[in-house]
A and B are shown apart, each in its own frame.
Chain A
Amino acid sequence: MSLLVVKDLCKRFGGLQAVDNVSFAVASGSIKALIGPNGAGKTTLFNLIFGALLPDSGQVWFDGKQTDGWKPHQVAAAGMARTFQHIRLFPKMSALDNIAVGRHVHSRAGFLASMLGLPWTRREQRAVREKALEIMRFLGVEELADGEATSLAYGQQRIVELGRALACEPKLLLLDEPAAGLNMRETSEMAKLIARIRDTGVTVLLVEHDMTLVMNISDEVLVLSYGEKIADDKPLAIQKHPEVIKVYLGEDDA
């Protein structure tokens, strides 16, 4: 069963075909990696899937619904969450509050109920806080709860951003370079964490440059080059794929 199906997706920026007729599927409960040289269109593809960009053509099907043309908050409500290549935490808010924002789609107090401070909104607030703390415990960072999120160390910020996405209790998690800027130890911990998240039943689509991480945890790997899909296969097959080798060697030559 495919949780996400992308059909013939295209996106053009001026004269540049950033995403060129890309189709693929992500099986429920799996980890799929999206790799390719810088500028290949990976982040653009994420933005198209999430509704942050509108595709020129093509379709996105998520959990049985056609979601292209939806706004990001609608996609989030449908059960998708994401992290960003360049960390986008909320400044001047604690790590806990950052993660609590991820509970938005699972809580409902609006302006009026909140202003009146109705008892159920306070109960809901406590539940949100509890859930956010539970996620921080799962990630092993509960001691960071009260620290200002954007003042944390880089590796911790990545974890908090991941926690914020997990707080959405997503069916599908999009991770854009979750190990970028992390050292080797942090990277291998991140890999374990992603595998653990998959084990809780969350489907993962991730962009990553760290090949050890990608090959270790992915069930399938999709390779993009200049916006085009050049391979979509199991990790072992990808490593032997002639065109993939050419793309990566070619990049080294340049």
Chain B
Amino acid sequence: MGRRRNLPIVALAMAVIAVQLLTAAAGKPQYLTQLTMAGYYSLVIVGLTLLMGYTGQISLGHAGFFAIGGYTSGLLTTYNLHPLIGQIPVSILQACGLLVSGKDLYGADLLVVRPWAACVVALLVTIGIAYLVGKPVLKLKGHYLAMATLGFGTIVYKVVLGSSLVGAADGISDIPAFPLFAGLVVTGKSALRAQNYYVAWGLVLGAMALLTNLIRSRVGRALRAIHGAEDAANAMGVDTGRYKLQMFVLSAALAALGGVFLTHYNGGIGPSEASVMKSVRYVAIVAVGGMANLWGALFMGVLLNFLSLRGSFGSYDDAVFGLILLAIMLFAPDGLLRAEFARRLPGLRRGQKAAP
């Protein structure tokens, strides 16, 4: 039974390896940079697919969660605590091994939070904010929910744009690399390009494995029920408010994870990551991927982000995503890669036949 279930994940893993080998063979390793970035954006997209496509709750604020993750980690790993040495809180952090010292470009002493700790804090902060925002906002439906999440996204954008602490319009730069484990480092250094490609896609594979399990589970069925008829789901014993909130927080945490890693990969983050256009882009990709189609969203997300990052859309970048959204809503509101199509792929069938 496990084999069949895991088939799509294994296929994705093989595709990831094949792409890396192909780029190496073709002498185009620079493509891996865009594919790595597209991988991190995919984390936002697959989470949002579960929230929007399966649970039926739209969010026009997910760029906000991505940015909260990236900015929190970026700020903590660049904010110099050296002048505060001797203060009790700093001493405690130091004693716990959460700080790391170094030198800046001009040789001055630096004392900053370790990337691991910063990453954990960034995720916890995002989860907390998603909980506080989601709790009241998810009581709304349809375009009221869209407008409320849009409001949240706008606030995040304006806050990072206006705060000198996070570099205002310039954002944060010189964000250090993020050493993971066993010598793996999240960094944009071209020598470590292939390694970083595998780190990003390892995360995507992990997220896909977890989320495909989720949609086939009792929880996934309850989420689809909420989408279809919330009152009936509630009458069947589904705590609809709690499930919607948990899904919202989960998708926000995935967005933040993408934000943290991409920020360390790029060595910086700017306010455009928090912009409403980014949120619209994520929604457009979920829609064009088929709404309730995790694999379709992943595929379209990688394709469109790759093209966008390579500059294929020129100065019409944002316009392209607006156009996609407009066209989808007009001609195929269920999304382009329909769920019907996905159901025909092996291992993706919903009525999981309990194979021996």
Interface residues of A (CB under 8 A from B): 50, 52, 71-73, 76-77, 81-82, 84, 88-94, 96-97, 100-105, 107-111, 114-117, 121-122, 124-126, 128-129, 145-146, 164, 168
Contact = CB atoms under 8 A, between A and B. Distances in A.
A145 B350 CA distance: 12
Contacts of B217: 109, 114-115, 117, 121, 125
Contact of A101 (B5, B216, B222, B292): B222
B292 A125 contact: no
Contacts of A117: 5, 213, 217
B235 interface: yes
Given A97-B351, A101-B238, A114-B213, 14 more contacts: A71-B239, A73-B234, A90-B224, A90-B229, A101-B221, A101-B225, A104-B222, A105-B236, A111-B246, A114-B220, A115-B211, A121-B217, A125-B216, A168-B236
B257 to A, nearest CB: 14
Interface string B325-356: 00000000000000100000000001110100
Contacts of B211: 115
Which of A92, A114, A145 neighbours the largest number of chain B CB atoms within 10 Å of its CB?
A: A114
A126 B218 CA distance: 11
Contacts of A111: 214, 219, 246, 250
Interface residues of B, number: 36
Contacts of A94: 350-351
B218 A164 contact: no
B233 A115 contact: no
B contacts with A: majority SS? helix
A145 B236 CA distance: 19
Contact of A92 (B5, B218, B228, B236): B228
Contacts of A146: 351
A174 to B, nearest CB: 9
A52 B235 contact: yes
Contacts of B96: none
Contacts of A84: 232
B278 to A, nearest CB: 26
Contact of A93 (B214, B216, B224, B235): B224
B210 interface: yes
Contacts, number: 115
Contacts of B351: 94, 96-97, 145-146
13 contacts: A89-B229, A89-B232, A92-B228, A93-B225, A93-B228, A104-B222, A109-B217, A109-B218, A115-B210, A116-B213, A117-B5, A126-B354, A164-B236
B348 to A, nearest CB: 14
B237 interface: yes
A160 to B, nearest CB: 12
A98 to B, nearest CB: 8
Nearest to B249: A111
A107 B222 CA distance: 12
B354 A82 contact: no
B292 A92 contact: yes
B1 interface: yes
A118 to B, nearest CB: 9
Contacts of B1: 122
B238 A90 contact: no
B157 to A, nearest CB: 29
Given A90-B228, A93-B224, A129-B354, A72 B234 contact: yes
A128 B218 contact: yes
A97 B232 CA distance: 14
B334 to A, nearest CB: 9
Contact of A104 (B231, B236, B246, B352): B236
Given A93-B224, A114-B219, A72 B235 contact: yes
B126 interface: no
